[in-house]
Structure 1
Amino acid sequence: MATEHVDVAIIGGGQSGLAAARAAKALGTEPVVLEGSGRTTGSWPRYYDSLTLFSPARFSALPDLPLGGDGNRYPHRDEIADYLVRYAERLQVDIRTRARVEVVEADEAGFAIRTADGHRMTAAGIVAATGAFGNPARPELLGQEGFAGEVLHVADYHDPQPYAGKRIVVVGGGNSAVQVGHELARVATVTLATHAPLHFLPQVRGGKDLHHWLTTTGFDHLPPAWLAHVLPGTLVLDPGDYQNALHSGRWHRRPMLTRLEGESVIWDDGTRESVDVVLLATGYRPDLPYLRTLDGALGDGGGPVHSGGLSLTHPGLVYLGLEFQRSFASNTLRGVSRDADHVIPPLAAHVHRAPGAAGL
């Protein structure tokens, strides 16, 4: 049986993969989307149950298909999952679900791909669009091995009811840490452990959602190198209750814990506190295990070696959905298509053998 060859293999069928498919099709390539799960929903169904977008519906859609309804609402996790399924159906491209990619290797045709079910194909170009949810950052806390309580990552958290009446320390100071900590505080005693004080940013300014200002001022387009000089640290979007809840004592914030010991957390001032659960809201790292056999494609920490999403080691390999890939909005519904429009044209030129056509 002959090995199947495709123009572009897009690995991942969530928002990044669908944005890539749209851009690739528009430039005359024939993309094939390989999605490991049974639906083109990306990671959305696996997030915690109460998750809503931090951006309003009007700023949270991919090109050519608005979310509809009240543009000022904050869509729920499940609405976004259903929206992505509809978007995939409209694209009319070859999307294959339950096709988890295990290995990508260099090949004379460009790249050779093997999926979990043993299917093999070659591709002239690869879009790595698997995001990061599958690779939670789980820092090892000092003393964690002997801790008598439970340690879990927010990726494994779904709803607060199993934690009713418990004493919980949430490690992290970003949006997810605060949103989940605030939710847990309704049924449990909660402290956030962070390296620095929380930076709250009002969700609404001048009667308009923050994302109105991010888009109309061009902030969304600022490159990461400039953002480092602008942002004071990790920001928490506050719809109006988080900072008030902190000040009123409904939950607390303390400097980062130093270690775990028995049933206790040891704080930086040496005090000991009995704790049932330590919840790590410590982010995610790019989930790219299938690229480990591509020599040099991944750096020492497992992250891609790239510039703006273009591989610096393998022509024909591009990335989408990386945090701060090119801007503040890179791994969001409102920003990923801009990144696709940046990385897909050079990929299409590679697939169409543009240098040879130009006599080079």
Structure 2
Amino acid sequence: MRLITLLLVLAAAGLAPARAQQAVPPLAEAQHQYPGQQAAYVTLREDLTVEIRHDSVQVLARHQHDMLHLGTQSAAYAFDQVHSGSFSKLLKLEAHTLVPVPGAEGKYKTLRVTDFTQRADTRDGVFYDDTRKTTFSFPAVAPGTRTVTDYTIRHPDARFLLPFYFGSYVPVRHAEVTITAPKSVQLNYKLFNAEKLPISFTKREQGGSVVYRWAADNLPAATHDEDAPEVAYYLPHVVFYIEQATVAGRPQQLLGGVPQLYTMYADFVKRIQPHDSPALKHRVDSLVAGAATPEERARRIYYWVQDHVRYIAFEQGMRGFVPHAAGLVYERRYGDCKDMANLTTEMLRLAGLKSYLTWVGTRDLPY
């Protein structure tokens, strides 16, 4: 009872004991451990819970970032942001600065962030994207303070989970990710770039669930040189995916391998809305008239699409995966890569050529 009363008094006074699970080193010790660094993460943690909701497999992800500020220029890290969208819905966001109380070791005054701004997350090369970003700034950032971000994301489709990276742009004292899933869920994972990093892994049963845990300590700040490849090529990370889950009493295949990945993308193609376009057939006939060989017909169609259809990218929900109908793209004269691919494929077929949609990888990922 006395402990509860003490905690209430501390909270009323705006004070709170350190809440991070990892021990926070004294400022001088941390500055010596990370020379030249303006800040370091005490904890970089993600806890995921797999849930069966109605007829879908969803994931609730809680992210906790605890940064200790070391240098006089650490205010550069006072700004933070959280991204959300159709496949990652922001449910809760809390942020605060922990200011050390003079003469009271391990005690902090809590200054909460109250001003959050949400706006569209625009990116170069993308005309419209439904991704949103919530931005905010921590108050009173100075050497010795800690800035803590705690937010929860719901992934309504478990197939679109993001990897967890063991590292950041500043040193990381402790990085950890856990996944708690029902026993009826078959989960798998792959580690990348972790050959020289001692990442611990445990798997244990807890009631009707299985808990997977990966952790690593004392990670150096990641460097990224100009014109270097994306961080997935060199930063240690774990990719996890759900192979199968029991939904409504029946086993449901998700991403167990290439066949399941093909099924997912084939379903995207099946969702293309029909759109008849006699004008498209007329255009193809006029383009290939007089072409002596199949190669010549294909060449004319390819360069016509390249020269007459403007690239405009859309990434709004499933529009990031499902192309528009070829006739609609032809009429509008614009579309993104998958729209132009679908138009080209249909035009080749109308010209009597065999043509198929296919997967094309991205150099942003090494796999």
TM-score range for the pair, normalised by the shorter chain length: under 0.3
Higher fraction of strand: 2
Greater relative CO, 1 or 2 (CA 8 Å, sep 6+): 1
Q: TM-score, normalised by structure 1?
A: 0.24
